[in-house]
Amino acid sequence: MQASELRVGIVANEASGDLLGGAIVSELARLVPGLSCVGVAGPCMLAAGCATRFPLERLSVMGLAEVLGHLPELLRMRRELTAYFIKERPDVFIGVDAPDFNLGLERRLRAAGIPTVHMVSPTVWAWRPGRVKGIRRAVDLLLCVFPFEEAFLRRHGVPARYVGHPLADQIPLEVDRSAARASLGLPLSGTLIALLPGSRRGELQRLAEPFIQTAQRCLAARPGLRFVVPLVNPRLHAYFAAQLQRLAPDLPVTLVAGRGREVIAAADCVLTASGTATLETLLLKRPMVVGYRVHPLTYHVVKGLRLVKVQYAAMANLLAGRELAPEFIQDRCRAELLAPAVLALLDDQARVAEITAEYARIHAGMRHNAARAAALAVLELIGRAPGHKDLLSANERE
Protein backbone atom coordinates (compact mmCIF):
# COMPACT_ATOMS: atom_id res chain seq x y z
CA MET A 1 0.00 0.00 0.00
CA GLN A 2 1.24 3.46 -0.82
CA ALA A 3 0.77 6.48 1.40
CA SER A 4 -2.62 8.16 1.11
CA GLU A 5 -5.12 9.91 3.35
CA LEU A 6 -6.84 6.66 4.26
CA ARG A 7 -5.65 3.09 3.71
CA VAL A 8 -8.24 0.33 3.97
CA GLY A 9 -7.82 -3.42 3.87
CA ILE A 10 -10.98 -5.24 2.82
CA VAL A 11 -11.84 -8.88 2.02
CA ALA A 12 -14.99 -10.38 0.50
CA ASN A 13 -15.43 -13.93 -0.73
CA GLU A 14 -18.47 -14.11 -3.01
CA ALA A 15 -20.81 -12.12 -5.23
CA SER A 16 -23.08 -10.89 -2.43
CA GLY A 17 -20.11 -9.74 -0.35
CA ASP A 18 -18.65 -8.05 -3.40
CA LEU A 19 -21.86 -6.03 -3.80
CA LEU A 20 -21.69 -4.88 -0.18
CA GLY A 21 -17.96 -4.23 -0.33
CA GLY A 22 -18.36 -2.23 -3.51
CA ALA A 23 -21.00 -0.04 -1.88
CA ILE A 24 -18.80 0.67 1.15
CA VAL A 25 -15.67 1.37 -0.91
CA SER A 26 -17.61 3.74 -3.19
CA GLU A 27 -18.99 5.65 -0.22
CA LEU A 28 -15.62 5.83 1.54
CA ALA A 29 -14.12 7.18 -1.68
CA ARG A 30 -16.77 9.90 -1.76
CA LEU A 31 -16.12 10.85 1.84
CA VAL A 32 -12.31 10.59 1.89
CA PRO A 33 -10.15 11.93 -0.96
CA GLY A 34 -7.13 9.79 -1.68
CA LEU A 35 -8.63 6.53 -0.45
CA SER A 36 -6.51 3.40 -1.00
CA CYS A 37 -8.22 -0.01 -0.74
CA VAL A 38 -6.68 -3.44 -1.21
CA GLY A 39 -7.64 -6.97 -0.24
CA VAL A 40 -9.78 -9.59 -1.98
CA ALA A 41 -12.27 -8.05 -4.37
CA GLY A 42 -14.77 -8.97 -7.07
CA PRO A 43 -16.12 -6.91 -9.98
CA CYS A 44 -18.09 -4.38 -7.89
CA MET A 45 -15.22 -3.68 -5.53
CA LEU A 46 -12.73 -3.50 -8.39
CA ALA A 47 -15.00 -1.01 -10.19
CA ALA A 48 -15.08 1.08 -7.00
CA GLY A 49 -11.28 1.28 -7.03
CA CYS A 50 -10.25 -1.59 -4.76
CA ALA A 51 -7.17 -3.64 -5.70
CA THR A 52 -7.18 -7.41 -5.12
CA ARG A 53 -4.49 -9.78 -3.92
CA PHE A 54 -6.36 -12.95 -4.99
CA PRO A 55 -9.27 -13.67 -7.32
CA LEU A 56 -12.44 -13.57 -5.23
CA GLU A 57 -13.57 -16.96 -6.56
CA ARG A 58 -10.70 -18.72 -4.76
CA LEU A 59 -12.32 -17.88 -1.42
CA SER A 60 -15.86 -18.76 -2.50
CA VAL A 61 -16.41 -22.00 -0.57
CA MET A 62 -19.31 -22.67 1.79
CA GLY A 63 -20.33 -25.49 4.13
CA LEU A 64 -18.59 -27.75 6.62
CA ALA A 65 -17.70 -30.67 4.37
CA GLU A 66 -17.17 -28.47 1.31
CA VAL A 67 -14.42 -26.45 2.97
CA LEU A 68 -12.32 -29.49 3.84
CA GLY A 69 -11.04 -30.08 0.30
CA HIS A 70 -10.04 -26.42 -0.02
CA LEU A 71 -8.79 -25.93 3.53
CA PRO A 72 -5.02 -25.96 2.86
CA GLU A 73 -5.33 -23.27 0.17
CA LEU A 74 -7.74 -21.18 2.26
CA LEU A 75 -5.40 -21.29 5.26
CA ARG A 76 -2.42 -20.40 3.08
CA MET A 77 -4.25 -17.39 1.61
CA ARG A 78 -5.29 -16.24 5.07
CA ARG A 79 -1.70 -16.49 6.30
CA GLU A 80 -0.50 -14.47 3.32
CA LEU A 81 -3.16 -11.81 3.84
CA THR A 82 -2.39 -11.64 7.57
CA ALA A 83 1.32 -11.13 6.90
CA TYR A 84 0.60 -8.59 4.17
CA PHE A 85 -1.73 -6.44 6.26
CA ILE A 86 0.45 -6.59 9.38
CA LYS A 87 3.38 -5.42 7.28
CA GLU A 88 1.46 -2.69 5.44
CA ARG A 89 -0.68 -1.67 8.45
CA PRO A 90 -3.84 -0.23 6.93
CA ASP A 91 -5.75 2.34 8.98
CA VAL A 92 -8.63 -0.12 9.25
CA PHE A 93 -9.51 -3.60 8.05
CA ILE A 94 -13.04 -4.51 6.89
CA GLY A 95 -14.12 -8.13 6.54
CA VAL A 96 -17.28 -8.47 4.46
CA ASP A 97 -19.29 -11.53 5.51
CA ALA A 98 -17.30 -14.82 5.07
CA PRO A 99 -17.07 -15.22 8.87
CA ASP A 100 -15.17 -18.51 8.91
CA PHE A 101 -12.41 -16.88 6.87
CA ASN A 102 -12.58 -13.26 7.94
CA LEU A 103 -13.03 -13.56 11.71
CA GLY A 104 -9.77 -15.47 12.03
CA LEU A 105 -8.03 -12.86 9.91
CA GLU A 106 -9.62 -10.05 11.91
CA ARG A 107 -8.58 -11.60 15.23
CA ARG A 108 -4.93 -11.70 14.15
CA LEU A 109 -4.98 -8.15 12.78
CA ARG A 110 -6.72 -6.78 15.86
CA ALA A 111 -4.11 -8.44 18.07
CA ALA A 112 -1.49 -6.64 15.97
CA GLY A 113 -3.14 -3.30 16.72
CA ILE A 114 -5.08 -2.82 13.46
CA PRO A 115 -8.71 -1.69 13.97
CA THR A 116 -11.13 -4.29 12.60
CA VAL A 117 -14.67 -4.02 11.26
CA HIS A 118 -16.87 -6.90 10.18
CA MET A 119 -19.86 -6.26 7.94
CA VAL A 120 -22.81 -8.69 7.98
CA SER A 121 -23.35 -10.42 11.27
CA PRO A 122 -22.60 -14.14 11.33
CA THR A 123 -25.93 -15.87 11.89
CA VAL A 124 -25.20 -16.60 15.55
CA TRP A 125 -28.88 -15.87 16.25
CA ALA A 126 -29.73 -18.78 13.92
CA TRP A 127 -27.05 -21.41 14.46
CA ARG A 128 -23.76 -22.02 16.30
CA PRO A 129 -24.42 -19.28 18.90
CA GLY A 130 -21.12 -20.13 20.62
CA ARG A 131 -19.36 -18.21 17.83
CA VAL A 132 -20.26 -14.95 19.54
CA LYS A 133 -17.22 -15.34 21.83
CA GLY A 134 -14.92 -15.45 18.81
CA ILE A 135 -16.63 -12.40 17.34
CA ARG A 136 -15.94 -10.41 20.50
CA ARG A 137 -12.23 -11.23 20.22
CA ALA A 138 -12.07 -10.41 16.51
CA VAL A 139 -13.86 -7.11 15.95
CA ASP A 140 -13.81 -3.54 17.13
CA LEU A 141 -17.11 -2.95 15.32
CA LEU A 142 -19.71 -5.21 13.72
CA LEU A 143 -21.98 -3.62 11.12
CA CYS A 144 -25.41 -5.30 11.05
CA VAL A 145 -27.52 -5.28 7.89
CA PHE A 146 -30.74 -6.58 9.47
CA PRO A 147 -32.66 -4.77 12.23
CA PHE A 148 -33.02 -7.67 14.68
CA GLU A 149 -29.27 -8.33 14.94
CA GLU A 150 -27.93 -5.31 16.84
CA ALA A 151 -29.76 -5.90 20.14
CA PHE A 152 -28.86 -9.61 20.16
CA LEU A 153 -25.16 -8.92 19.60
CA ARG A 154 -24.99 -6.07 22.12
CA ARG A 155 -26.52 -8.35 24.76
CA HIS A 156 -23.57 -10.68 24.15
CA GLY A 157 -20.96 -7.93 24.46
CA VAL A 158 -20.29 -7.36 20.74
CA PRO A 159 -19.89 -3.69 19.67
CA ALA A 160 -22.58 -3.76 16.99
CA ARG A 161 -24.36 -1.11 14.94
CA TYR A 162 -27.32 -1.54 12.62
CA VAL A 163 -26.65 0.33 9.37
CA GLY A 164 -29.19 -1.30 7.04
CA HIS A 165 -28.58 -3.22 3.83
CA PRO A 166 -27.12 -1.35 0.83
CA LEU A 167 -29.26 -3.45 -1.53
CA ALA A 168 -32.40 -1.96 0.01
CA ASP A 169 -31.14 1.49 -0.95
CA GLN A 170 -29.85 0.54 -4.39
CA ILE A 171 -33.03 -1.20 -5.55
CA PRO A 172 -35.95 1.17 -6.22
CA LEU A 173 -39.25 0.62 -4.45
CA GLU A 174 -40.92 0.11 -7.82
CA VAL A 175 -39.26 -2.06 -10.47
CA ASP A 176 -40.13 -2.00 -14.19
CA ARG A 177 -40.41 -5.56 -15.49
CA SER A 178 -40.68 -4.49 -19.13
CA ALA A 179 -37.57 -2.30 -18.89
CA ALA A 180 -35.63 -5.18 -17.37
CA ARG A 181 -36.70 -7.51 -20.16
CA ALA A 182 -35.81 -4.96 -22.81
CA SER A 183 -32.35 -4.43 -21.30
CA LEU A 184 -31.72 -8.19 -21.46
CA GLY A 185 -33.12 -8.55 -25.00
CA LEU A 186 -35.95 -10.80 -23.77
CA PRO A 187 -39.51 -10.86 -25.17
CA LEU A 188 -41.72 -8.26 -23.49
CA SER A 189 -44.74 -10.57 -23.47
CA GLY A 190 -45.15 -14.07 -22.14
CA THR A 191 -44.41 -15.69 -18.79
CA LEU A 192 -40.79 -15.79 -17.73
CA ILE A 193 -39.29 -17.84 -14.90
CA ALA A 194 -35.84 -17.00 -13.53
CA LEU A 195 -33.65 -19.85 -12.29
CA LEU A 196 -30.94 -18.84 -9.79
CA PRO A 197 -29.00 -21.99 -8.90
CA GLY A 198 -26.29 -20.18 -6.91
CA SER A 199 -23.00 -18.37 -7.34
CA ARG A 200 -20.63 -21.13 -6.21
CA ARG A 201 -19.47 -24.23 -8.08
CA GLY A 202 -20.69 -26.53 -5.29
CA GLU A 203 -24.16 -24.98 -5.36
CA LEU A 204 -24.40 -25.43 -9.11
CA GLN A 205 -23.28 -29.03 -8.89
CA ARG A 206 -26.12 -29.79 -6.49
CA LEU A 207 -28.84 -27.51 -7.87
CA ALA A 208 -28.42 -27.38 -11.65
CA GLU A 209 -30.11 -30.73 -12.22
CA PRO A 210 -33.20 -30.27 -10.01
CA PHE A 211 -33.67 -26.71 -11.27
CA ILE A 212 -33.44 -27.75 -14.93
CA GLN A 213 -35.79 -30.68 -14.31
CA THR A 214 -38.21 -28.32 -12.59
CA ALA A 215 -38.17 -26.09 -15.66
CA GLN A 216 -38.94 -29.11 -17.84
CA ARG A 217 -41.94 -30.05 -15.71
CA CYS A 218 -43.23 -26.48 -15.67
CA LEU A 219 -42.91 -26.27 -19.46
CA ALA A 220 -44.78 -29.55 -19.92
CA ALA A 221 -47.64 -28.17 -17.82
CA ARG A 222 -47.54 -24.67 -19.33
CA PRO A 223 -46.28 -24.65 -22.94
CA GLY A 224 -45.00 -21.23 -23.88
CA LEU A 225 -43.05 -20.60 -20.69
CA ARG A 226 -39.56 -19.18 -21.06
CA PHE A 227 -36.64 -19.34 -18.65
CA VAL A 228 -33.62 -17.16 -17.92
CA VAL A 229 -30.53 -17.98 -15.82
CA PRO A 230 -27.89 -15.50 -14.60
CA LEU A 231 -24.40 -16.98 -14.07
CA VAL A 232 -21.74 -14.98 -12.28
CA ASN A 233 -18.64 -16.11 -14.20
CA PRO A 234 -17.61 -18.00 -17.37
CA ARG A 235 -16.72 -21.16 -15.44
CA LEU A 236 -20.21 -21.48 -13.95
CA HIS A 237 -21.73 -20.52 -17.30
CA ALA A 238 -19.90 -23.37 -19.01
CA TYR A 239 -20.90 -25.86 -16.31
CA PHE A 240 -24.59 -24.95 -16.45
CA ALA A 241 -24.60 -24.96 -20.26
CA ALA A 242 -23.16 -28.48 -20.20
CA GLN A 243 -25.88 -29.63 -17.81
CA LEU A 244 -28.52 -28.08 -20.04
CA GLN A 245 -27.15 -29.91 -23.04
CA ARG A 246 -27.17 -33.18 -21.09
CA LEU A 247 -30.61 -32.85 -19.50
CA ALA A 248 -32.75 -30.52 -21.61
CA PRO A 249 -31.14 -29.34 -24.85
CA ASP A 250 -34.47 -28.01 -26.17
CA LEU A 251 -35.45 -26.01 -23.10
CA PRO A 252 -36.31 -22.39 -24.09
CA VAL A 253 -33.77 -20.76 -21.81
CA THR A 254 -31.51 -17.73 -22.02
CA LEU A 255 -28.20 -17.78 -20.15
CA VAL A 256 -27.00 -14.36 -19.01
CA ALA A 257 -23.51 -13.34 -17.88
CA GLY A 258 -24.11 -11.84 -14.45
CA ARG A 259 -26.89 -9.21 -14.26
CA GLY A 260 -28.78 -11.24 -11.69
CA ARG A 261 -30.75 -8.24 -10.49
CA GLU A 262 -32.09 -7.50 -13.96
CA VAL A 263 -32.92 -11.16 -14.47
CA ILE A 264 -34.99 -11.25 -11.28
CA ALA A 265 -36.70 -7.98 -12.19
CA ALA A 266 -37.60 -9.36 -15.62
CA ALA A 267 -39.22 -12.53 -14.24
CA ASP A 268 -42.77 -13.35 -13.25
CA CYS A 269 -41.55 -15.94 -10.75
CA VAL A 270 -38.14 -16.97 -9.41
CA LEU A 271 -36.77 -20.38 -8.47
CA THR A 272 -33.72 -19.59 -6.38
CA ALA A 273 -31.06 -21.06 -4.15
CA SER A 274 -31.13 -19.90 -0.55
CA GLY A 275 -28.84 -16.98 0.25
CA THR A 276 -28.65 -13.31 -0.65
CA ALA A 277 -30.63 -14.02 -3.83
CA THR A 278 -33.75 -14.47 -1.71
CA LEU A 279 -33.24 -11.00 -0.21
CA GLU A 280 -32.68 -9.50 -3.65
CA THR A 281 -35.82 -11.22 -4.97
CA LEU A 282 -37.79 -9.83 -2.02
CA LEU A 283 -36.50 -6.31 -2.70
CA LEU A 284 -37.47 -6.69 -6.36
CA LYS A 285 -40.97 -7.82 -5.24
CA ARG A 286 -41.02 -11.08 -7.16
CA PRO A 287 -42.70 -14.26 -5.88
CA MET A 288 -40.19 -17.05 -5.34
CA VAL A 289 -39.68 -20.70 -4.54
CA VAL A 290 -36.49 -21.63 -2.67
CA GLY A 291 -34.61 -24.86 -3.30
CA TYR A 292 -31.33 -25.75 -1.64
CA ARG A 293 -28.96 -28.62 -0.99
CA VAL A 294 -25.69 -28.73 0.90
CA HIS A 295 -23.13 -31.51 1.02
CA PRO A 296 -24.80 -34.53 2.71
CA LEU A 297 -22.15 -34.60 5.46
CA THR A 298 -22.74 -30.92 6.22
CA TYR A 299 -26.49 -31.48 6.37
CA HIS A 300 -26.27 -34.48 8.70
CA VAL A 301 -23.84 -32.71 11.05
CA VAL A 302 -26.03 -29.59 11.22
CA LYS A 303 -29.23 -31.59 11.65
CA GLY A 304 -27.77 -34.18 14.02
CA LEU A 305 -26.29 -31.58 16.36
CA ARG A 306 -29.40 -29.38 16.11
CA LEU A 307 -27.25 -26.41 15.22
CA VAL A 308 -29.99 -24.46 13.41
CA LYS A 309 -32.14 -22.34 15.73
CA VAL A 310 -34.49 -20.65 13.24
CA GLN A 311 -37.60 -21.85 11.44
CA TYR A 312 -36.70 -20.79 7.90
CA ALA A 313 -33.66 -21.08 5.65
CA ALA A 314 -34.43 -18.13 3.36
CA MET A 315 -33.72 -14.61 4.61
CA ALA A 316 -36.85 -13.45 2.77
CA ASN A 317 -38.97 -15.67 5.03
CA LEU A 318 -37.06 -14.67 8.18
CA LEU A 319 -37.73 -11.01 7.42
CA ALA A 320 -41.39 -11.69 6.65
CA GLY A 321 -41.82 -13.91 9.71
CA ARG A 322 -43.69 -16.47 7.62
CA GLU A 323 -43.10 -18.74 4.65
CA LEU A 324 -44.15 -16.52 1.78
CA ALA A 325 -41.50 -18.30 -0.31
CA PRO A 326 -42.01 -22.09 -0.17
CA GLU A 327 -38.78 -23.81 0.91
CA PHE A 328 -37.55 -27.18 -0.34
CA ILE A 329 -34.34 -28.12 1.44
CA GLN A 330 -32.03 -31.09 0.92
CA ASP A 331 -34.03 -34.26 0.09
CA ARG A 332 -37.13 -32.16 -0.64
CA CYS A 333 -35.27 -30.18 -3.30
CA ARG A 334 -36.69 -32.29 -6.13
CA ALA A 335 -38.39 -31.33 -9.37
CA GLU A 336 -41.59 -33.21 -8.49
CA LEU A 337 -42.00 -30.88 -5.48
CA LEU A 338 -40.48 -27.68 -6.85
CA ALA A 339 -42.48 -27.56 -10.09
CA PRO A 340 -45.96 -27.62 -8.48
CA ALA A 341 -44.89 -24.85 -6.10
CA VAL A 342 -43.71 -22.66 -9.01
CA LEU A 343 -46.86 -23.35 -11.02
CA ALA A 344 -49.05 -22.59 -7.99
CA LEU A 345 -47.54 -19.10 -7.77
CA LEU A 346 -48.04 -18.52 -11.48
CA ASP A 347 -51.71 -19.51 -11.15
CA ASP A 348 -52.61 -17.58 -7.97
CA GLN A 349 -52.56 -13.86 -8.68
CA ALA A 350 -54.22 -13.00 -5.37
CA ARG A 351 -51.38 -14.77 -3.55
CA VAL A 352 -48.80 -12.97 -5.68
CA ALA A 353 -50.43 -9.61 -4.88
CA GLU A 354 -50.26 -10.41 -1.15
CA ILE A 355 -46.58 -11.39 -1.43
CA THR A 356 -45.75 -8.28 -3.46
CA ALA A 357 -47.42 -5.98 -0.92
CA GLU A 358 -45.60 -7.61 2.01
CA TYR A 359 -42.24 -7.44 0.23
CA ALA A 360 -42.84 -3.75 -0.54
CA ARG A 361 -43.59 -3.08 3.14
CA ILE A 362 -40.40 -4.84 4.25
CA HIS A 363 -38.33 -3.04 1.61
CA ALA A 364 -39.58 0.40 2.64
CA GLY A 365 -38.63 -0.31 6.25
CA MET A 366 -35.08 -1.35 5.29
CA ARG A 367 -34.03 1.82 3.48
CA HIS A 368 -31.49 3.61 5.69
CA ASN A 369 -28.76 4.91 3.32
CA ALA A 370 -26.76 1.91 4.49
CA ALA A 371 -23.55 2.44 2.53
CA ARG A 372 -23.10 5.93 3.96
CA ALA A 373 -24.04 4.82 7.47
CA ALA A 374 -21.51 1.98 7.22
CA ALA A 375 -18.76 4.22 5.85
CA LEU A 376 -19.35 6.82 8.57
CA ALA A 377 -19.29 4.14 11.26
CA VAL A 378 -15.92 2.92 9.97
CA LEU A 379 -14.51 6.45 9.89
CA GLU A 380 -15.89 7.21 13.35
CA LEU A 381 -14.22 4.08 14.74
CA ILE A 382 -10.79 5.30 13.66
CA GLY A 383 -11.41 8.96 14.47
CA ARG A 384 -11.54 10.06 10.85
CA ALA A 385 -15.13 11.25 10.48
CA PRO A 386 -15.19 15.05 10.86
CA GLY A 387 -18.73 16.30 10.47
CA HIS A 388 -20.22 12.80 10.52
CA LYS A 389 -23.01 13.91 12.89
CA ASP A 390 -24.15 16.47 10.34
CA LEU A 391 -24.17 13.83 7.62
CA LEU A 392 -26.16 11.40 9.76
CA SER A 393 -28.68 14.11 10.56
CA ALA A 394 -29.06 14.79 6.85
CA ASN A 395 -29.62 11.09 6.19
CA GLU A 396 -32.27 10.92 8.90
CA ARG A 397 -34.12 13.84 7.30
CA GLU A 398 -34.31 12.05 3.93
- Give the pLDDT of the chain (398 residues) as one tens digit per residue: 444 489 999 999 888 889 899 999 999 999 998 899 999 999 999 999 999 998 877 665 544 444 555 678 888 899 999 999 999 999 999 999 888 889 999 999 999 999 999 999 887 655 556 678 889 999 999 999 888 888 889 988 999 999 988 899 999 999 999 999 999 999 999 999 999 998 888 889 899 999 999 999 999 999 999 999 999 889 999 999 999 999 999 999 999 998 999 999 999 999 999 888 999 999 999 999 999 887 666 555 455 444 444 466 788 998 888 999 999 988 899 999 999 999 999 999 999 999 999 999 999 988 889 999 999 999 999 998 756 444 444 334 33
Fold that domain 6-170+368-392 belongs to in CATH: Rossmann fold (3.40.50)
Question: Where does CATH 3.40.50.2000 sit in the chain?
Answer: 6-170+368-392, 177-365
Q: Comparing C-alpha atoms, which of 395, 348, 349, 356 is closest to residue 373? A: 395
| CA dihedral of residues 368, 231, 268, 357 (deg, nearest 10) | -20
Class in CATH terms, 177-365: alpha beta
Global pTM value: 0.75
